[in-house]
């Protein structure tokens, strides 16, 4: 990006890159969002299998193939299945490598719709910033319930050490995914010891189906979290985009600033429903 050291990253497998699936909706959100289309040039799609890589090359200029020996990530990985956990931890290890290369990054799940530029809403003093399923109105409160699907991380010795620690911690919490393990280790003295500055992102801006942003004048991203089933996600994400288009038509493409955001409301979640935070992603 402008500083030449920040990239936007997402990881995808074949199941999420099928035509008219999550990936297409993800890219569409950048195109219909307010001042987000330009961010597409800084998006690198990390494909976890050959089919996803080929599909990415068809629709996006910046694709990277990340394959894992003896593991086929192309199928639909059900939440908390063995393949799902392998994908999540492969992702954490890859992001550590990105930091070691000297790049800051925004990592985003592909089921997150980008509706505004997030950079003005990031904290200037946070090494590691993470979205929340539930936000307790304080960006430094470790009791916030984080969601690892959206993070902004600055490359420095503190974050590199943290990602190594995070990845290693999986061995102490077998059968847990990265988000659950982070929830365990965020209280560990190691975090204070390395001086890592952790900030939690307010759901007023970085919302999701768990805790939707209430004001469309403020919303930056919308995550299809607390949702089980790919078809349900796709259905409700399409509704998010339609809600956003209606809002933008009313404000004349100005992206808000007309106090309409609280007068309008999301029509989602619909098929997704509100599931238990501790059992879904």
Q: Tens digits of per-residue pLDDT, 41-87?
A: 999 999 988 999 999 999 999 999 987 655 544 444 444 444 666 77
What is the predicted pLDDT for the residue at 139?
A: 97
pLDDT of residue 257: 52
> How far is residue 184's CA from residue 173's CA, in Å, rounded to a whole number?
9
Q: Tell me the pairing of strands 145-153 and 112-114.
A: unpaired
Coil vs helix vs strand at 47:
strand
pTM for this prediction: 0.90
Q: Count CB-CB contacts under 10 A for residue 164.
A: 15
Q: Both ends of the chain: CA-CA distance in Å?
A: 29
Predicted pLDDT of residue 23 = 97
- Supply the pLDDT for residue 277: 46
pLDDT of residue 190: 97
Of the CATH numbers 3.30.70.3290, 3.40.50.720, 3.90.550.10, 3.40.109.10, which one belongs to the domain with range 1-281?
A: 3.90.550.10
Q: Quick one: three-class SS letters along 193-224?
A: HHCCCEEECCCCCEEECCCCCCCCCCCCEEEC
Q: What is the pLDDT of residue 210?
A: 93
Token pair 């902004």 in the structure block, residue: 152
CB-based contact 135:200 (threshold 8 Å): yes
Residues of the chain with pLDDT under 50: 72-82, 255-256, 276-281
Domain ranges of the chain: 1-281
């Amino acid at each position: 990006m402008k500083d030449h050291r920040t990239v936007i990253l997402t990881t995808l497998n074949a199941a999420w890159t099928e035509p008219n699936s999550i990936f297409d909706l993800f890219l569409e959100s950048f195109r219909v969002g307010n001042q987000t289309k330009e961010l597409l040039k800084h998006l690198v799609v990390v494909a976890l299998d050959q089919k996803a890589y080929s599909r990415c090359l068809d629709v996006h200029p910046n694709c990277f193939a990340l394959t894992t020996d003896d593991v086929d990530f192309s199928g639909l990985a059900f939440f908390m299945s063995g393949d799902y956990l392998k994908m999540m931890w492969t992702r954490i290890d890859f992001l550590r490598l990105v930091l070691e290369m000297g790049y800051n990054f925004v990592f985003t799940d592909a089921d997150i719709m980008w509706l505004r530029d997030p950079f003005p809403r990031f904290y200037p003093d946070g090494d590691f910033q993470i979205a929340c399923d539930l936000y307790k109105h304080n960006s430094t409160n470790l009791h916030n319930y984080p969601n690892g699907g959206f993070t902004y991380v600055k490359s420095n010795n503190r974050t590199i050490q943290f990602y190594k620690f995070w990845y290693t911690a999986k061995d102490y919490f077998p059968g847990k995914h990265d988000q659950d393990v982070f929830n365990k280790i965020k209280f560990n003295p190691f975090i204070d010891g390395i001086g890592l500055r952790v900030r939690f992102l307010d759901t007023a801006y970085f919302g999701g189906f768990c805790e939707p942003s209430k004001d469309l004048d403020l919303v930056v991203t919308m995550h299809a979290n607390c949702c089980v089933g790919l078809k349900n996600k796709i259905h409700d994400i399409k509704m998010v985009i339609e809600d956003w288009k209606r809002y933008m038509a009313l404000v004349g493409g100005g992206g808000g600033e007309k106090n309409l955001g609280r007068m309008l409301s999301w029509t989602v979640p619909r098929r997704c429903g509100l599931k238990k935070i501790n059992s879904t992603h």
